[in-house]
Amino acid sequence: MPSGTDRNENTRTPLRTRALLATAAFLLVGVLGSAAAGALEPSPTPTSEPELTTGHEPDGAATWIVAASATPKADRIARRHGATESAEVPGLYSLPASDADTLIRILRISGLLLYAEPDVVPETRAYPTGGLSEDQWWLDAVVDTGTAVPPAVLSSSPRLAIVAPGIYRNHPDLKGIDLRGAESGGLTSDRFGTAAAGIAASPGGGAGIVGIWPGMNLRHAPSGDGGCLDASEAVRRAARLESDVIVMGYGFRPESCRTHLAATQYAVHKGAILVASAGDGSPGETTEPLRPAIDPHVITVGSVERNLSLAPFSNTGPHLDLTAPGVDLLAPALEPSGSPKPFLTYSSVSGTAYSATIVAAAAAWIRQARRDLTPTQVEGLLTTGASDLGARGWDERFGAGLLDLDGAVGARAPIADRLEPNDDIGWIDGRLLHEGKRPIRTKPLWPRSGPGRRTLQATLTRDDPADVYLIRVPARSKAVIAVAQVEGDVGVEVRSATTRTIASPKGTLASSDLEYPETEGLLLKNRARDPRPVYLVVRQGQLGNPAGARYRISVGSSLPG
């Protein structure tokens, strides 16, 4: 397996200095043309204790703290309103902001209220300075460190999993970080993981560097010798442990390691954001990204130099999503010391694996700042907010351009695509996707229960060119399928229930590929006494746009109104 990502150069600074219809049963007829926030502020209440205030009321505070006289009556009132009492302070309660106004009012009427306030999070004024931060050209290239305010890191904050053989957690730049599962595999095994962890999360403020999101939560996903099985199991393990973002700084040849594709699809099912390095090739050669970079739903990252030109080793091609700094990045390093403990230092490292780490940390930051977004929406923000490089718009050398964290955080989110992974039939019928020994099967798009209509919006992209949905046509009934081409051209097909993959034309029962923006439509009639399943396939149409497409499916027993 080519590693192609860890280019450790020997300039260092010592620490001390720095998812067969029966045809007779079916007829397919072809193409159919918080307002309560003010109420939460208690009026001054006579009390022998000082009334605490925050000085301001933060927008969207999810939880409130309510203090009352420590009496059985206050406990009864608080429990009745779903409040949780502090384990440390009698009479101190917490509850959702939507429920707090009623509790505050009743406690005030009862003469038991002491004070109430939003449960705020710590505020970070700016990036830490000092140490080696002035030597980090790559940090200022992707975020305005003078004005950007990194999110406060809480125990509930998103967690970035680094797939690597080892991480040396005792490097000073990793001290104080919640780095779960960290295992050291020795000097050579630990080099990439330690450097990546520092680039992502070093808290700064000391003698070392500053990470993209200082002090962010990390997880080590040990990958053993880095072979196909070990790396695949590491990704699955990280996903099972609910890692929010997973970064993969390695590559396998595209025709190999299907086990890893199954692992990343499982991670998509679990809701993880996946980031991979484009891979490092020989300077002057045109080399396309490897697996997992070429796989669906993986954000593929290439490298740029200090002058924002493409790094000579950075792989290019149709799967590239964006770029980030990847040359001469100062990072925590380990060197032989002549004793069991390595010499802890800093070194200049280069490679697309480090660029992927920068983007992965940025993805976690966005997940924290905009918790309502899905993984596909976060990916959309990263590419929409990127600073264009090279040819105008997306291109095979730079993707959407250079990561711009400030631009990504503030960008308009694309629509949510909530039923991924549904790239082929095997990912929705339980053959390829498992939770332990239990097959993961996607429920039918329609009907869900009884008569009615199901409508949803979804997207297609360069690395997600097709979506598959299971539809059950009720017994002695019909299903009307309409697919509106909202943005970009799509085509639709209906496949028999015995179809194994959409890569083959076998099992096609009907299709429609009208020019954008006309609505694709199909009518399915089931004359049998049992419901009959079919697969609906939506893919890029004859006028497909490399940038993707957005569409809206409507399925029911009649034409949509």
* pLDDT tens digits along 63-103: 899 999 999 999 999 999 999 999 888 999 999 988 999 99
What's the whole-model pTM score?
Answer: 0.81
Note whether 296 and 320 are same-domain residues: yes
pLDDT of residue 48: 35
Digit-coded pLDDT (tens) for 369-413: 999 999 999 999 999 999 999 999 999 999 999 999 999 999 999
Q: Are residues 396 and 495 located together in one domain of the fold?
A: no
The pair of structure tokens assigned to 329 is 């990045």
Task: Output the pLDDT for position 220.
Answer: 98
Q: Buried b vs exposed e over 466-482: b needs ≥16 C-beta within 10 Å? A: bbbbbbbbbeebbbbbb
3-state DSSP assignment of residue 304: strand
124 in a structural domain: no
Tell me: do 434 and 397 sit in the same domain. no
Q: Evaluate whether residue 1 is within a structural domain.
A: no
Q: Which of 93, 118, 143 is the last residue of a domain?
A: 118
Query: Do residues 195 and 347 touch, judged by C-beta distance below 8 A?
Result: yes
Residues 400 and 438 in one domain: no
CATH number at residue 202: 3.40.50.200
Among 19-33, 75-89, 174-188, 444-458, name the one with the lowest average pLDDT.
19-33
More confident of the two residues 43 and 456: 456
Q: What angle do CA 402, 327, 406 make, to 5 degrees?
A: 30
Query: Do 269 and 386 fall into the same domain?
Result: yes
Amino acid (1-letter code) at residue 52: L
Judgement on whether residues 283 and 393 belong to the same structural domain of the protein: yes
Last residue within a domain, chosen from 352, 385, 410: 410
Q: Is the pLDDT of residue 158 over 80?
A: yes
Give domain status of residue 57, yes or no.
yes
Give the C-alpha separation, 228 to 131, whole Å: 39
In this structure, the answer to whether residues 261 and 313 fall within a common structural domain is yes
- What pLDDT sits at residue 119? 87
Q: How far is CA 354 from CA 131, 233, 344, 473, in A?
A: 21, 22, 19, 49
Mean pLDDT of 285-290: 75
Q: Which SS3 state, helix, strand or coil, does residue 234 take?
A: helix
Q: Within a domain: residue 130?
A: no
Give the mean model confidence (pLDDT) for residues 207-233: 94
Residue corresponding to tokens 């918790």? 371
Rounded to 5 degrees, φ, ψ at 164 are: -160, 155
- Does residue 172 lie in a domain region? yes
Distance CA 364, CA 165 (A): 22
Residues 405 and 284 in one domain: yes
| In 115-210, alpha helices (H) | 137-142, 187-201
- Structural domain includes residue 26: no
**Do 300 and 160 share a domain, yes or no?**
yes
In tens, the pLDDT along 469-528 reads 999 999 999 999 999 999 999 999 999 999 999 999 999 999 999 999 999 999 999 999
Give the C-alpha separation, 93 to 102, whole Å.
14
Contact 245, 158 (CB under 8 A): yes
3-class SS of residue 46: coil
Report CA dihedral (257, 263, 268, 270) to the nearest 10 degrees. 180
Rounded to whole angstroms, the Cα distance separating 390 from 135 reads 26
Radius of gyration of the chain (CA): 27
Copy the structure tokens of residue 18: 């720095």
Output the pLDDT for position 164. 97
What strands, in cross-sheet order, belong to the sheet with 532-540? 466-473, 532-540, 490-495, 508-512
Q: Does residue 128 belong to any structural domain of this protein?
A: no
What's the rounded Cα separation, in Å, for the pair 486 and 551?
Answer: 5
> In total, how many domains does the chain have?
3
Domain-embedded: residue 110: yes
- pLDDT of 9 above 70: no
> Domain residues for 466?
425-556
